[in-house]
Structures are given as C-alpha cells and as structure tokens.
Amino acid sequence: MASTRTRQEAYDRICQDFFSALDRIIPLDESKPLKGQTLRDFELQARELKEAIIPTLLEERAVLSAAAQMPTAGRCPSCGSERTYLESAVRQRELRSPGGPVVLSRQDARCRACNRSFSPSGS
C-alpha cells in the first residue's frame, strides 16, 4: 500500500507527541509547579514520556518503510502465482511492543490461483 504520510508529516506528529508529553513533565509555563520530589518520581515521569513517544515513533516509522509501500501484491507465497491482487480494505492491527501498544495498518492481498490471502509486506 502506498505511504499515507510524508516524512515531514511523520516527523511533525512525532514532535507534537513528544513535546506534548514533555510539557506534562516540565511545563514551559513557570506558574505551573513541577511534579515529583524524588528520583523515583522522575523515573516514573521518564517512563511516561517513553510510553507516550515510542509507539508514535514505531507507527510512523512503519508507515514510512518500503514494505508498507507495496504498489502491487507480487507473487503468492503459497503457490508462486502472479495472479494476485490487493484487497481494497486496509485493516488496523494493534501490536504490543516493549514501548507500548502500536497500531499498524495492514493491507492484504489475495491469489486468484489458489484463493489464499497474504500480506504483501510480510507483516
């Protein structure tokens, strides 16, 4: 499937999520107090930042990968036929990564020869 975002759009989304999460930890507004007093509090805040940004980074990186930009279905991995087509529906799939839940788009293809479905990107 063709990429639905440009690098600039992906970069902007990642930055937006990062700065939003950072602002919850260290607000630019001097009138807002900083939360936490101990190193443990700071570690928990760092974990929250990580959990906010890593899924976004992984989602955007996956969208920009060459495998996500398959223009054709290619050969069927089951029978080797080139009589394949991309199905019109794109499914959203949530995976669990060490950094948190990541939502990836997946387009399936179908083989006219053996009628099996597969993901052309291999995901």
- 76-90 pLDDT tens trace: 888 988 888 888 777
Would you say residue 2 has pLDDT above 50?
A: no
Helices 7-25 and 39-64 pack at an angle, to 10 degrees, of: 170
In this predicted structure, the answer to whether residue 73 has a pLDDT above a threshold of 90 is: no
Specify the pTM.
0.62
Q: How far apart are CA 50 and CA 54, in angstroms?
A: 6
What pLDDT score was predicted for residue 78?
A: 87
Measured distance CA(94)–CA(51) in Å, rounded: 15
Q: What digits encode the pLDDT tens for the residues 11-58?
A: 999 999 999 999 999 999 999 999 999 999 999 999 999 989 999 998
